[in-house]
Structure 1
């Protein structure tokens, strides 16, 4: 132990940095793998419940795909203009300064990212355990223990190796595309056989209002959540430098990946409606399982198996990206400094990833999917909209920045207005206290910002310094290259 301590004392002076190399194919796999997870197997029922008819439901799914694509294009410009990892953080920092950037880190690290990870892992646990409990719901303790196990495994994989995490992502992306293709092809075959009766009078009994549309978008966009991940943390660079490949692979992965997901989602919903009426879909406990029972029997077990693969792949992609956000927050002094340290042996941001996994496990203990997803989108679209607004602001305040990709100004304006609608519409149509609690929690980050970041009270530093030292020795981590002198 003493020998290890003496060695670790010298480690901060090492020229250590972490590099993660993700090419175009891996980039597309990462964005597809991150987006296609639990959402498409959970959201169709909720989207239909809010609009009450097949026609508006398909329109909502298409509109969600368009909005996700336009938003991703905005983030493509931001990602190639400001080539820093850390999610919306560096964009908000450049556009509005440290306070909005800190509030994003505060909300994202403690609410948005862990709740998203928890939802996906709980979805994985439900589908993975369903075959073992035919005819009834799996026990809650089984679901939560299985979800916690998935979190531990995914956290370990991404802490051990960036390449291993990328390979795992590519594998699960391939497996999840199998079930997506099975559902799509099955639907097309049934349509070709003339099973179109569920599409007659597609707009009958439509329920349309500001509140129902906004809630339908919330549930549809949850299935697209992750469409913005690829733009900021996957530095598609070769081994030497940020070259032309970076600026080519980043937008290409988005331009190819997002529309691919959009087409798949619309076709999957068409397949669902080919097999089930609106009433049957709303009464189904698990839409994909019901589809499999009707179309693939006696091989219906394939559906829960591959849906489990799909969700675990999405969880891996979420962990891969969110860990970098924690890393950047620690590097900027907005979290414990040790969270910005890098593993000596693995060159991964292990402390950040472990912290992220621990917070997620806390979320799954009292929560369930419905509770976690209800107000997730409310917080998410506040910062999506603010970030895209920052793109518009920097067009006028930071004209000197080099922009390898420049989207027409009408696109970020449209995305910003859409974000405002998505944030305000639920409050106006169905005002509820949890929205207020969410807003107060976001603003509550200001207290911590002024106490620990702006004024930097000495007693806080005295407490954090020994914690950082012991964690550094325990995890064998050191500051990254940009943190050393």
Structure 2
């Protein structure tokens, strides 16, 4: 029987759009207010986003070399497996399947659905059915082929970039027509008065900043579906991260110009408030539609890329056997996509996705730091490599230090959530032992 393989159909443009679409979700429309609150000055607000951009670019360099060294479906799972063994790799896939990807799907789907319900003047109760529709429709599109899923994502990504471009243009080129919407500031802004206070404030601000920058690593999971992945993937990663970095900095300049520091810190919807200042109610409506497009595009990218990780785990005999299969016609991991969608819908219907996401936000950076460390191992083991991470080893060490910085900040800000997140990861250990025994009984199927 002929083995079904992934179809290499995506070029550099689609790869770049996967990176951009996998990063830009709802974070840039919500997080800037939190950052302004935590640092207390406009220069430090922009500095926090600049630091986030530097970390993201360094991460892009790391994942570009890893993708060139291991151009296999599964991305981070493959790198951790080949460097440190199947156990840490399984924990990554376990966290992704249980919460990190599926919880993000539920949360982002609800965010987009709530904005759409508000835009269409529907009752708040309409949000959940709309969110369910988003997950189901996008899962089906990704089942029907990677090109269909990627093309849908490309269109939505271009639309979200167009909406952001209009926001930036309005703030930098137009004259304000309306007063800044008044909002009650919960507490007065306090600028750091010492170096120690500034370091602490920046640490707290970098958590939402780096959360908003997260997602570039997911494109590595579809490496086998890129044309000439050893060349295409590194280019897509660097181009995509640079586009996002420039976009985020320009958006924050636009927010500060339109709302001022106090207005930004107090705003619950800085993008909508910015557009209102320059274009009135029409601008607010337009950017709300842009936010819907952005969240739906991000959702589609998460659905497409995360399923490849579960398929790689199953191919190693460490997950349900059916999830290793690719459809003979569509060449997509249908069972992995369906299972992922079911878990996301269960989290959505239970209403627990937001709380669960808080538990394991820090887990993302555990795996980011571990994956960067994996590059040292793979470099020592495989001397050859056509792509080399720039600024090695300093850049990789800085990226790993940033991961530790975020972890410490997450634990300090909410130790209870960090402990619960660690507990959810620990629960993966007995599950791993079960699958490891099953694999041993049926023979080692590790590729």
Assess if the C-alpha contact under 8 Å between 1:115 and 1:376 holds in 2: no
1:115 is matched with which residue: 90, 103, 111?
Answer: 103
Report if the CA contact (8 A) 1:392-1:413 is conserved: no
1:76/1:191 Cα in 2 relative to 1: closer, same or farther (>3 Å)? farther
Number of the residue aligned with 2:219: 230
3-state SS in 1 of match to 2:326: strand
Contact 2:275–2:287 under 8 Å retained in 1: yes
Partner residue of 1:160 out of 144, 166, 170: 144
Structure 1 residues 190 and 142 mapped into 2: Cα distance closer, same or farther (>3 Å)? same
How much does 1:255 deviate? 1.7
Q: What does residue 364 of structure 1 align with? A: 348
1:59-458 to structure 2, matched below 5 A, reads 59-133=47-121, 139=124, 141-190=125-174, 205-207=190-192, 208=197, 212-235=201-224, 237-238=226-227, 245-300=228-283, 301-367=285-351, 371=355, 373-396=357-380, 398-407=381-390, 408-427=392-411, 429-430=412-413, 432-454=415-437
In the TM superposition, residue 435 of structure 1 has moved relative to its aligned partner by: 0.9
Q: Secondary structure at the match of 2:6?
A: coil
Post-superposition offset of 1:236: 5.9
Deviations 1:246-274, CA, capped at 9 Å, x for gaps: 32221111221111111111111111111
Q: Distance in 1 between matches of 2:217 and 2:95?
A: 17
**Aligned-pair distance for 1:455?**
5.9
Contact 2:160 2:294 in 1 (8 A): yes
Q: Does the Cα contact within 8 Å between 2:99 and 2:357 map onto a contact in 1?
A: no
CA contact (8 A) 1:343 1:350 kept: yes
Give a deviation string over 1:336-360, Cα, whole Å, max 9, x none: 0101111233221111111111111
Q: Please give the per-residue CA displacement for 1:391-445, whole angstroms capped at 9, x wherever unaligned.
A: 122333x044534334321111111121112112332x34522211111221221
Find the aligned partners of 1:39 and 1:69 in 2 and give their Cα distance: 18
Shift of 1:87: 2.4
SS of 1:345's equivalent in the other structure is coil
Aligned-pair distance for 1:276? 1.1
Once the two structures are superposed, the pairs formed by residues 454-469 of structure 1 within 5 Å of their partners are: 454=437
Measure, in 1, the Cα distance between the counterparts of 2:304 and 2:294: 15
Q: Give the alignment's TM-score, normalised by structure 2.
A: 0.89
RMSD (CA atoms): 2.7
User: Separation in 2 of the partners of 1:416 and 1:370?
Assistant: 27
With structure 1 as the length reference, what TM-score do the two structures score? 0.82
Cα offset, 1:452, TM superposition? 2.6
Partner Cα distance (1:282, 1:367) in 2: 28
Can you give the 5+ residue segments of structure 1 that lack an aligned partner in the other structure?
1-12, 196-203, 239-244, 462-482
2:35 pairs with one of 47, 51, 55: 47
Aligned length: 431
Following superposition of structure 1 onto structure 2, how do residues 18-37 of structure 1 map, counting pairs within 5 Å? 18-37=6-25
With over 3 angstroms needed to count, the CA separation of the structure-2 counterparts of 1:191 and 1:85, relative to structure 1, is: farther
Who wins on radius of gyration, i.e. which is larger?
A: 1
Is the 1:72–1:231 Cα contact (8 Å) retained in structure 2?
no
- Contact 1:104–1:383 under 8 Å retained in 2: yes
Unaligned runs of 5+ in 2: 180-188
Q: For the residues of structure 2 that align with 1:389 and 1:192, how far apart are their CA atoms?
A: 49
